[in-house]
Every structure is written in C-alpha cells, then in structure tokens.
Amino acid sequence: MLLSAEDNRQIMVTDVANSKLNQLYQYLVDEEDARVCKDIPEQACHYVPLNFFAFIIANALTKLGDELSNPKTVLAWLFSVVQAPVALVGLLVPIRESGSMLPQLLIAAYVRRLAVRKWVWVGGSILQCVAVLGMGLVAFTLHGAAAGWSIIALLVLFSLARGLCSVAHKDVLGKAIPKTRRGRLTGYASSVAGLLALGVGVFLTSQGDAADSFYGILLAAAGLLWLLAAAVFALVQEQPGATEGGGNALREAVHSLDLLRTDSDFRRFVIVRSLLLCSALSAPYYVILASERGVADISTLGWFVVANG
C-alpha cells in the first residue's frame, strides 16, 4: 500500500524525534552494556528511552504536586487559614501515610490480575487530582469545622488513590525499565522535582499577605500536576505481564508479624522506627505554631516549603 506524502512526513518526524530521544537517553545513562535489557521483556527494550523519560516527567510532576499539597506544611497552614479545629491537624500525616500504605495489602492481589497495569496508575493519579482540586475548592468556600472535616475526607480519597499508584508503579517500572537504570531514573526525577519545589518555595517567600483564594489556587495547581502526570504516564509502552503467581499480601503481612516475636534485632528496629515517627507527626504543629504567632503571611509558608523540599 502506498503512503501519502502526509503519512511519509509524519513517519519522518517520528523517526527524528525517536532519534533525538535515544541520543538524550544515551547521554544521560551512558549506555554501554548491550545486555542491559536482559531483565525486562525483549519487546520492551525498543521503548526504554520513551519509558525512561515518561517515568521521569510523571514522577517529577507528582513529587512537585506532593510538595504543593504536603500535609506537614501546606495543608497544616491551610487549616490555620480556614480556622479548622486544631485537633484535626493530628490526623493529616497518619491519613496521608497509612492511608496509602495499608490499602496496598488489600488491592495488590487484584492489581496483579491485570496484564497491563499502567491504567491503574493513571486512574489513581486522576483520583489524586480530583482530591486535591477538592481541597482547593474548600479553601475558596468553607471555614471552621466544615473545612477541616472536608479536607480530611478528601485526604482519605487522596491516600487511597496514592495506594493504587504505588502498587501499579512498581509493577510497570519492573516491566518497562531495566533494573540497572531504575535508581538513576528515581534520582533524576527527585532532582528535577526538588529544584522545582525549591523554586516554588523561593517564589512564595517573596509574597506577603494573601487571601484565602491564593491557597485554593496553589492546591488547584497541584491537582493539575497530577492530571498532567496521568497524561504523561499513559504514554508508557507497557508489555502485558503475568497475571498469576502473586501471593495474598495481607495474609503474608499477618504471617510476618511472627518475626516481631522471633527476631529480636528486627523487633528493636521496628520499635526504634516507631519512636522516630514523632518527627513526622509533630511537623504540622510547628507550622500551626508559626501561623498563630503572628507570622501568618505566605512568605513564612514559603520557607517551610523550602526547608521541606
């Protein structure tokens, strides 16, 4: 079948784009080992450069979104602005962390029944977008206990969606990116997100007093980052994988509890890590304290974002 001139032009543009992408990938990873693709499906090797950059961009966008809606800084500050009950502040970090970790034990087995799992990540990212946009709407419209409980409810939705993304991300990464390149990918994504978050924090430090609507705009921008990340992650070329052989994560976790009784070193490690949770749980109260001590302008929040990023 003969191709039209327009079709030929599109093919040439695609080939040039792929060539540039491959060159940039080679430069970043310094690829020399011809066997680097031995631990992923053979069909996936051709798409490694595209997948590499799709992962970097999507991860950087979500990490930046995390900074702009961080419960330790931005959400704690928002609680002070909307005059939500201080008692609810203590729920922010536990819901954000455990709310995304614990459900993974229940949903992991179901996600692994899917041959292609990137759409689970895309769906989870869209749900996170909806949750954060909802928080932005709360900043525009509600005050007091209604605002506080609304943010808590939306944070529960956000955390559950985050759990979906976490389960799917590991599986898709394992099928799309060679093992020797995953650490570098994570490093690039974290570096890009850190620089962007630092830039946002510095920008906020230059601002003075701000209306409640400013915080709504900030959260709306964070929500849109997750929507953009979903669009980018949809470009990942994932090869269908096995749908059997995965164990029940919840059952395995329950069985593993016996290690706390039989392994003394592991038990001490868990106790120490549990005690260190005080640093994460207390962080929002520093923000609330700063806000209520007469330094409630947006520039102070900017310094918290810089310190956290």
Concatenated DSSP letters of 73-135: IIIHHHHHHTT--GGGGGGHHHHHHHHHHHHHHHHHHHHTT-S--HHHHHHHHHHHHHHHHHH
Specify the CATH architecture of the domain 47-308: Up-down Bundle (1.20)
Q: Directed axis angle between helix 5-29 and helix 179-205, to 10°?
A: 90
Q: What are the residue boundaries of the structural domains of the chain, listed by start?
A: 47-308
Q: What span, in angstroms and rounded, lies between the C-alpha atoms of 58 and 53?
A: 8
Give which of 119, 116, 123 is closest to 242, Cα–Cα. 116
Q: What is the pTM of this model?
A: 0.83
Residue whose structure tokens are 């939306």: 154
Tens-binned pLDDT, residue by residue, of the chain (309 aa) = 444 544 444 433 344 356 777 777 777 776 555 456 767 777 778 888 889 999 999 999 999 999 899 999 999 999 988 889 988 998 998 888 777 777 777 777 778 788 888 999 999 999 999 999 999 999 999 999 999 999 999 999 999 999 889 888 888 888 888 888 888 888 888 888 888 888 888 888 887 676 667 889 999 999 999 999 999 999 999 888 766 655 566 677 677 777 888 888 888 998 998 888 887 788 888 888 887 776 667 888 888 888 876
Q: Which helix (H) or strand (E) holds 188?
A: helix 179-205
Distance CA 114, CA 73 (A): 37
Residue 37 in contact with residue 45, Cβ under 8 Å? yes
